[in-house]
Structure 1
């Protein structure tokens, strides 16, 4: 499974450029970020530039108008490439990435004013990159200074994301194929992690099992820092220390997915140390599983992530009543959001090039109706902190989340991660396999 091919990227750019009218759009890429002293973090391109160009090198900027696609890139430099790897350079930007024009990134300051002359609208989002913002400001000042020569500067500055993110929200066939492959890699990784959930093992050993599969199957690594939380650590939503030892009777919450060709998988499963769900942990797991099943059954064209969340929350209220955590009328408890101390996040988010992908969740002040091509997660959970003295003692230190990746199609709902078991008997058998 390879990255999105250049002909598809060209089609994306054509659709985007058609929306620009007489305007010009500037889409900056990412820079290297210093980790410590003279060591950088691994490079990850900004998703908007990756979506439009596939260009996966630092310090690049794309400029697009109705009739041209320009790339500003790092030039070829043999000495630097000896240390840090090959660069496509200006030549590669033209030859391999379909640019109509390409220039060294150092020439952006000089050339940008030429592209802004007599253009009514500039598409650029300020605040993402201070250096690019300064170049844009300088370019605007230079164009404005030529007013006596009959040159006009853009009168309107608009963030291009309002158009670009709407495109990214509806996934193409090629994107779905990558997401399916990412889901399969995550399936294998979760299987390896589940088998590592043994008494006495360390959370970081379980994490290592995940990371090995991610890279061995061709992924670039995790799509986000993996969460491997045993016992009370599972009640911390974004626990990433992964440094505790697994003990008998605990549940281990694993939230981890691979990144493949820029696209994220996002999967959570909760496994019992030793391979069997027992006691109250089994009851909590069953309540969360039922909530996810109810939420998945509620998905349809025209529903919203908000309505799906409400279905899950109502189901969790029922579970909390059965567990003896809440008391009262179910609908009153739902309206009062009495579940929030134990379920404090929403049930889903969009998924794609970003794990929390782009796209507006509301339109016209109302929850956005779901459409075919949208990919999102369904991830209810219950979390009972060991420090919460208001709940039964035997529930304290139990955290459960079950998360799957879903695509809405014209034919219904496809659960991309359905091959990773969720049912109690299936999970136990999987851990033994």
Structure 2
């Protein structure tokens, strides 16, 4: 678990960057599933990263220039009658005692108290988000302070996004964050290995999903990090297939893309294997091509190397392989430049991983310069090939023989950038052909 000392260090790091500014963060809204039934609450990741506070209807304010209150929380006050229905609240005093706030107020006092933390700031740091009502609250306070600036001589002259600062901080994981991610990975690895043994001809996809998600919760995870994909047969060619209703047959490929969330930190793993024990000849050819692309891509995840290199590496391996199979034809450089491989491989090879499955962090610095890998970053590496029944080649490319149609393969691992190279955190799930057929 992340300590309060680490949350405090994160706030101090951010405040050292905003100088005379004031940063405002809003908790996640309560989402309604249907009528008055609510989804399980999931805190906003930036808010959680800075505070560890896991309740709705809260606002965090960081005001490094304030004489007394540098970290302020506005929270729901204690209310025994309401807590009977919706659970215990930390309350105003608890916000100071448990979460280290210099001052805390009931959320109902936000309009009254917030101006004192803004009036001497030179700018407001706030990411305009989906909460339109709160966006308007911040803008209204800013406009009022702008109007009175000539009389006071102080006040925020601009609103600036917190994203560039927090994205850079969140991108490199602390040792404790990596502990949380390793736990999420360990649980997810065991669930994948169990699912591969459990999956047999005649099983339904939802039965595999149930086994995986049972293990997530049984081992202490919050649950799935994202909707679990259990895609057999031609369903493996649908990138985000989540119906999970088909009955599996001998000879099917089964693609499982599933990972758990542990203390809000996530794992993300994909494996594809044959139902009934053996790949067909054509399935094995496609599988080995994707595996080769992934292995060569992982080798490019190294400190100092540009982010795009592992994707470019995977694309080249896949294109070369598809050309050898007669599924693409022409000049390889032209095929890659004009993305004529996209009917078979339509997504990027990975993404940042952490508090969010598609975690906070930039991929490019401007139009031409890519982010370079640094120790402590975690990225997924997940090439795939998807030859759907209705796939149509790019104009001028070969027709696709029936023998390949219906084969979908993706292989995904979570990779930590280290000082000397990388560590495949999810290596505990087999992926070599002989392992997948055992």
TM category, shorter: over 0.9
Alignment gaps of 5+ in structure 1 = none
Aligned partner of 2:424 in structure 1 is: 415
Aligned partner of 1:57 in structure 2 is: 55
Q: Give the alignment of 1:10-409 within 5 angstroms.
A: 10-66=8-64, 68-147=70-149, 149-150=151-152, 152-365=154-367, 366-388=369-391, 390-409=399-418
Q: 1:324 to 1:130 in 2, by over 3 A?
A: same
What does the per-residue CA deviation read over 1:294-314, in whole Å, with 9 as the maximum and x for residues that have no partner?
Answer: 111222222123111110001
Alignment gaps of 5+ in structure 2 = 393-398
Runs of 4+ residues over 4 Å off in structure 1: none
How does the TM-score come out when normalised to structure 1?
0.96
- Aligned pair count? 427
1:128 deviation in Å?
2.9
Equivalent residue of 1:185, what SS? helix
1:324 deviation in Å?
2.7
Alpha-carbon distance in structure 1 between the residues aligned to 2:318 and 2:215? 33
1:147 deviation in Å?
4.1
How does the TM-score come out when normalised to structure 2?
0.94
What does the per-residue CA deviation read over 1:165-202, in whole Å, with 9 as the maximum and x for residues that have no partner?
Answer: 11000111111111111111110111122123211111
What does the per-residue CA deviation read over 1:395-425, in whole Å, with 9 as the maximum and x for residues that have no partner?
Answer: 1111000000001011220111011111011
Equivalent residue of 1:326, what SS? coil
RMSD value, Cα: 1.4
Kept after mapping to 1: 8 A contact 2:302/2:420: no
Equivalent residue of 2:437, what SS? helix
Kept after mapping to 2: 8 A contact 1:113/1:142: no
